[in-house]
Amino acid sequence: MFFKHFRRVAFWLWPGFAMMLATPSQAGIVLGTTRVILPAPDKEAALMVRNTGAGDILAQSWIEAEGDSGASGSLPFAVTPPLARMSGDGRQLVRIIYSGEGLPKDRESVFWVNVQEIPQTGKENQLQIAIRQRIKLFYRPMGLAADPLKAAEALQWQVRDGVLEVSNPGPFHVSMIMLEARRNGQLLLQEDGRMLGPMQRLQLPLSSSGKPGALELAFVSINDYGAQEPYRARVSSEQVVQASKVEQRSDE
């Protein structure tokens, strides 16, 4: 039951805003994937964009580095076409091209692919909204020995001095959602999302709990295909452990 809740991630819109988006004048873009993975020696990857609305739009695409709030022209990627006109129910293939230099060769690198819809000029007194969608772009150099589908299992968890520590010894990023830690049923840590980079260590403070005992850890990772995979572990003080994948029954 606990992990069934993990799979039900809902996003709610303020009702007035949702009604505004549903008006016929407002187009909507849909991306064909939740993430883009570009493995070497490939030099490019593709992203399908669809305009689900009835009106024409302009689709602007660009790439940002992790943590950036604007376009980054110095990155070793090119996006083509950077600007495309899309008719109602039209599709556009966006190509992401890597220049072949400038990124680490011993670990995966992460960026953001942005696609923003720009509605065509509307009628007088008609509100037009430019909506941006962002998904992650992962570049993987050649020669990485680890398995990216087992990256979440390789994470190392430990409790020390009231802090939950997690280390990622591998070369791949691990994206987690619904991270929780409990002791004797008491919730000590809860996060909606967290991404752990290659060779990164994080310290996550726990709420105070006077009761002794092991920590019950549960989280959900997102794999290469965008699927959610639940994990759990029992973490004792000063002991390093790895989480195990929870096998989901077909009737759940």
The structure tokens listed for 4 are 């069934």
pLDDT of residue 121: 64
Superfamily of domain 9-140: Immunoglobulins (2.60.40.10)
pLDDT of residue 35: 96
pLDDT of residue 195: 96
* Strands 35-39 and 131-140, sheet pairing: parallel
Superfamily of domain 148-245: Immunoglobulins (2.60.40.10)
Q: What sign for the dihedral angle of Cα 93, 98, 104, 105?
A: positive
pLDDT of residue 237: 79
Report the Cα 93 to chain-centroid distance in Å: 21
Q: Is 79 buried (19+), middle (13-18) or exposed (0-12) by CB count in 10 A?
A: buried
Q: What are the two backbone dihedrals, phi and then psi, of residue 16, each rounded to the nearest 5 degrees?
A: -65, -40
Inter-CA distances, 200 with 74, 192, 223, Å: 25, 19, 18
What is the C-alpha to C-alpha distance for residues 111 and 137, in angstroms, rounded to an integer? Answer: 5
pLDDT of residue 208: 79
Q: Phi-psi category of 149—alpha, beta or left, where left has phi over 0 and alpha has psi -120 to 50? A: alpha
What is the C-alpha to C-alpha distance for residues 218 and 183, in angstroms, rounded to an integer? Answer: 12
SS3 20: helix
CATH 2.60.40.10 domain locations along the chain: 9-140, 148-245
What is the C-alpha to C-alpha distance for residues 120 and 44, in angstroms, rounded to an integer? Answer: 30
Query: What are the pLDDT tens digits along the chain (252 aa)?
Result: 444 443 333 333 333 333 333 344 454 899 999 999 999 999 999 999 999 988 889 999 999 998 765 545 589 999 999 999 999 999 999 999 998 888 999 999 999 999 999 877 666 666 667 789 999 999 999 999 899 999 999 999 999 888 999 999 999 999 999 999 999 899 999 999 999 999 999 999 999 766 778 899 999 999 999 999 999 999 987 789 999 999 876 555
The structure tokens listed for 84 are 């495309």
Q: Count of alpha carbons within 13 Å of 108, Cβ hemisphere only?
A: 31
